[in-house]
Amino acid sequence: RCETDEARQHLTEAVNRILSMSVIHEFLSQDEHRPINVREVCQRVANQVTQVAASPEQQVDIKVSGPNIRLPAGQATPTAMVINELLLNAVEHGARDDQGGRIQVELLDRGDSVEIVVEDNGLGLPPDFDPAQGHSLGLQIVHTLVTDDLKGEFRLESITPDAEAQTNGDGCAGGTRAIVTFPKRSLRAD
């Protein structure tokens, strides 16, 4: 049993990291040479994060959108781990108690590159937040996977609430946006 909320949070994050790896390994076990559909993996990771990371009193809704993007296993594995970490971070820091958490994952196929955008409706980044300081293990993992394994770029930004969204419930009501961009490798590269 975990006696503190912090210990419980660390244990939940560790379990989610393991489960995320199991999702990708399940896909690889079918045929390690077959390209992996990242949208399908993303949806599975989102379902798992919703079930495991959100506390019972927390209402979290994760939506995944975008085309089916097929990547070689060497890119799909770190991509799944990045998505897992970004979703865990959004659930932990982006889910508002008063509105519940809404998280949107958008996959974009840019031809020779992939862009993944994860947005939440939380309070946004603190004014003094510096992603280079690496305050959390999750963001350090994301940065390392994106820059070293995927040879891409990672950035975080606060979403400015727009007045229309606050009055009609559509669009952006503030929060945080994480953007990951990386070049696609040839499907024959792995």
Residuewise pLDDT in 10s, the chain (190 residues): 557 777 777 777 777 677 767 776 776 666 667 888 999 999 988 988 887 766 667 788 899 999 999 999 889 889 998 998 999 888 887 766 556 788 999 999 999 999 999 999 888 888 887 766 656 788 888 999 999 999 999 999 988 876 445 544 545 567 999 999 999 988 664 4
Q: Would the pTM of this model clear 0.75, i.e. be above it?
A: yes
Single-letter amino acid code for the residue at 165: A
The CATH number of domain 5-183, selected from 3.40.140.10, 3.30.565.10, 3.30.460.10, 3.30.1330.60: 3.30.565.10
d(CA 155, CA 93): 16
Beta bridge partners, 118, equal: 105, 178
* Residue 170 tokens, joined: 């559509």
* Residue 132 tokens, joined: 């280079």
Three-class SS of residue 178?
A: strand
Instruction: Tell me whether strands 113-120 and 101-109 are parallel, antiparallel or unpaired.
Output: antiparallel
Q: Where would I find the beta strands (DSSP E) of the chain?
A: 36-37, 60-65, 70-71, 101-109, 113-120, 153-159, 175-183
d(CA 83, CA 100): 20
b/e burial code for range 160-178 (CB count within 10 A of at least 16 → b):
eeeeeeeeeeeebbbbbbb
d(CA 173, CA 33): 42
d(CA 72, CA 188): 7
Number of Cβ within 10 Å of residue 156's Cβ equals 18
Q: Is 6 exposed, middle or buried (0-12, 13-18, 19+ CB in 10 A)?
A: exposed
